[in-house]
Copies of this chain bind each other. A is one copy, B any other.
Amino acid sequence: MSDTDELLSIRAAELYYEENQTQDEIGVILRLTRWKVGRLLASARANGFIRIEIVHPRARRLPIERRLRESTGLTDAIVVSSAGVSTDAELQSRTAQAAADYLTSLRPIPRTLGISWGRTLHDVSLHLKQGWASGVNVVQINGGVSLNQRTGTAASTAVTIAHKADGSATLLPSPAIFERLETKQAMEADRTVAGVLALARDAQAYVFSAGQADANSALVDSGYLTVDQINDLVARGAVGDVVGRYIDQNGRIVDPELNERTVGIQIDQLRRAPLTIAVISGKTKHAIARAVVRNGLCTVLVTDEDTANALLHD
């Protein structure tokens, strides 16, 4: 397109989009036929000069969702807009809200829903509306009795989700990671615990988040791992954890011995499940999000625009 046409297309766009003039009226002003004006506007759009943003906490980015589905083979992708977001907390809240919306719209409603725990899942539980579903049995899929003040949140997340769905919660009364393998095996041998784990394995759907592998990890906060241990895992290729288990960018367990001492369903059980919803957002989690998606650990991803774009531009 010629230079003067480009300039005209901008003038036309100003009158059309900012002044709400009709193409006819613009034609009179710019001394063009209305068809020429229409073509100029089309070229302005084609050249990307017109940027339309939906500025709202619930706004999603459907084109990115579609591209994500196509390029990764995900069953579904939910991408929240980051337009107008200033803090990471706000973005995570939007993502949690979107996850809650997605759960609410799930059909058929899963009778048993396996969930992990953490800040993100807790956020999701708060965003769910009373009556979001009915008769859902929520079961914890990894150990969650924390060693410090976070103690309550793991249980309350499950209870809240279940309560709001007029269902029941089945808690996994176990630490996330044991220091000794023998203790962990003894715990799993307990009939109650074994029953919960069996229920977790048979869940019809899973919702989980993921943690980045760094000193701010929830597993460090909760006292299960030291900063040194995390650094060691990172040195061995860990990008983050899923249901308490650290994986590298190829989705492989980084430390099999540590993995053995971790309570909850295995990574492979997630891989085989028909409906696994990963809720991952924030700049620090791009790497673990990539590992989760690329290695088929989830069938549905709920994330933010920036993370989604990072996945697309690999």
Contact = CB atoms under 8 A, between A and B. Distances in A.
A14 B50 contact: no
A187 interface: no
Copies per assembly: 2
A267 interface: no
A74 interface: no
A15 interface: yes
A14 B13 CA distance: 21
Interface of A: 7, 10, 13-15, 17-19, 44, 48-56, 58-63, 83
Given A14-B62, A62-B15, A62-B18, A52 B55 contact: no
A19 B67 CA distance: 12
A15 to B, nearest CB: 7
Given A51-B55, A52-B50, A55-B51, A62 B19 contact: yes
14 contacts: A7-B58, A10-B54, A10-B56, A10-B58, A10-B59, A13-B59, A14-B60, A49-B55, A49-B59, A50-B52, A50-B53, A50-B55, A51-B53, A51-B83
A56 B44 CA distance: 10
A52 B54 contact: no
A86 to B, nearest CB: 16
Q: Which of A49, A60, A63, A83 lies at the interface centre, i.e. has the most chain B CB atoms within 10 A of its CB?
A: A49
Contacts of A56: 10, 49
A48 B53 CA distance: 10
A199 B78 CA distance: 68
A15 B49 CA distance: 20
Contacts of A14: 54, 59-62
A60 B7 CA distance: 11
Contacts of A51: 52-55, 83
A210 B157 CA distance: 61
8 tightest Cβ-Cβ pairs between the two chains A and B: A51-B53, A17-B52, A49-B56, A10-B56, A13-B54, A18-B62, A14-B62, A51-B55
Contacts of A19: 62-63
Given A10-B59, A59-B10, A17 B54 contact: yes
A7 B10 CA distance: 32
A18 B55 contact: no
A44 B44 CA distance: 23
A58 B49 CA distance: 11
A93 to B, nearest CB: 16
A272 to B, nearest CB: 32
A59 B48 CA distance: 13
Given A10-B59, A50-B54, A51-B53, 4 more contacts: A10-B54, A10-B58, A14-B54, A49-B54
Contacts of A58: 7, 10
A101 to B, nearest CB: 8
